[in-house]
Amino acid sequence: MSKKTNLAEALQKENIKPTKSIRKKTTDTETNNLPPSRQGKKGLTVFFYPDVIKQLKLIGIEEDLTNQDMVQEALNDYFVKHGKAQIA
Protein backbone atom coordinates (compact mmCIF):
# COMPACT_ATOMS: atom_id res chain seq x y z
CA MET A 1 0.00 0.00 0.00
CA SER A 2 1.47 3.35 -1.00
CA LYS A 3 1.61 6.33 1.32
CA LYS A 4 -0.51 9.32 0.30
CA THR A 5 1.48 12.38 -0.67
CA ASN A 6 1.09 15.60 1.28
CA LEU A 7 -0.76 18.16 -0.86
CA ALA A 8 1.82 20.88 -0.20
CA GLU A 9 4.62 18.52 -1.25
CA ALA A 10 2.75 17.53 -4.39
CA LEU A 11 2.21 21.16 -5.37
CA GLN A 12 5.88 21.93 -4.74
CA LYS A 13 6.94 18.94 -6.82
CA GLU A 14 4.82 20.15 -9.76
CA ASN A 15 5.96 23.74 -9.16
CA ILE A 16 2.37 24.86 -8.68
CA LYS A 17 1.71 27.74 -6.36
CA PRO A 18 -1.59 27.64 -4.48
CA THR A 19 -3.85 30.60 -5.08
CA LYS A 20 -5.69 32.46 -2.38
CA SER A 21 -9.20 31.31 -1.80
CA ILE A 22 -11.73 33.89 -2.91
CA ARG A 23 -14.53 33.27 -0.47
CA LYS A 24 -17.00 36.00 0.30
CA LYS A 25 -17.33 36.54 4.01
CA THR A 26 -20.89 36.36 5.20
CA THR A 27 -22.41 38.98 7.42
CA ASP A 28 -25.15 38.85 10.01
CA THR A 29 -27.54 40.55 7.59
CA GLU A 30 -27.18 37.84 4.95
CA THR A 31 -29.68 35.01 5.06
CA ASN A 32 -27.35 32.20 3.90
CA ASN A 33 -30.29 30.56 2.12
CA LEU A 34 -32.34 30.24 5.30
CA PRO A 35 -36.08 29.94 4.98
CA PRO A 36 -37.98 33.07 6.03
CA SER A 37 -39.12 31.37 9.26
CA ARG A 38 -35.47 31.09 10.41
CA GLN A 39 -34.09 34.42 9.25
CA GLY A 40 -32.78 36.54 12.11
CA LYS A 41 -32.93 33.62 14.53
CA LYS A 42 -30.31 31.37 16.12
CA GLY A 43 -30.51 27.68 16.93
CA LEU A 44 -30.50 26.26 20.45
CA THR A 45 -29.68 22.61 21.03
CA VAL A 46 -30.62 20.84 24.24
CA PHE A 47 -30.26 17.23 25.34
CA PHE A 48 -32.86 15.21 27.25
CA TYR A 49 -33.46 11.58 28.13
CA PRO A 50 -35.31 9.58 25.45
CA ASP A 51 -38.45 9.36 27.61
CA VAL A 52 -38.67 13.16 27.71
CA ILE A 53 -38.45 13.38 23.91
CA LYS A 54 -41.06 10.61 23.52
CA GLN A 55 -43.47 12.35 25.88
CA LEU A 56 -42.96 15.69 24.12
CA LYS A 57 -43.67 14.08 20.74
CA LEU A 58 -46.82 12.42 22.08
CA ILE A 59 -48.13 15.73 23.41
CA GLY A 60 -47.31 17.33 20.07
CA ILE A 61 -49.35 14.70 18.26
CA GLU A 62 -52.26 14.96 20.70
CA GLU A 63 -52.33 18.76 20.58
CA ASP A 64 -51.31 19.08 16.89
CA LEU A 65 -48.27 21.20 17.83
CA THR A 66 -44.69 21.21 16.61
CA ASN A 67 -41.72 20.97 18.97
CA GLN A 68 -41.03 24.60 18.08
CA ASP A 69 -44.53 25.60 19.22
CA MET A 70 -44.25 23.73 22.51
CA VAL A 71 -40.77 25.03 23.36
CA GLN A 72 -41.86 28.56 22.48
CA GLU A 73 -44.84 28.28 24.83
CA ALA A 74 -42.70 26.80 27.60
CA LEU A 75 -40.05 29.53 27.28
CA ASN A 76 -42.64 32.28 27.33
CA ASP A 77 -44.17 30.76 30.49
CA TYR A 78 -40.70 30.60 32.05
CA PHE A 79 -40.01 34.24 31.14
CA VAL A 80 -43.29 35.32 32.77
CA LYS A 81 -42.40 33.31 35.89
CA HIS A 82 -39.18 35.32 36.14
CA GLY A 83 -40.78 38.69 35.40
CA LYS A 84 -39.51 38.96 31.83
CA ALA A 85 -41.29 39.78 28.58
CA GLN A 86 -42.73 36.97 26.45
CA ILE A 87 -40.42 37.27 23.45
CA ALA A 88 -40.03 33.67 22.27
Domain count, the chain: 1
CA distance 62 to 80: 25
Whole-structure pTM value: 0.59
CA–CA distance from 79 to each of 70, 71, 73, 75 (Å)? 14, 12, 10, 6
- pLDDT of 17-69, one tens digit each? 666 666 666 565 555 688 998 899 899 999 999 999 999 999 999 999 999 99
Q: Look up the CATH number of the domain holding residue 82.
A: 1.10.1220
Range of the domain at 75: 42-88
- Asked whether residue 78 is assigned to any structural domain, the reply reads yes
CA distance 74 to 44: 14
Report the Cα 54 to chain-centroid distance in Å. Answer: 22
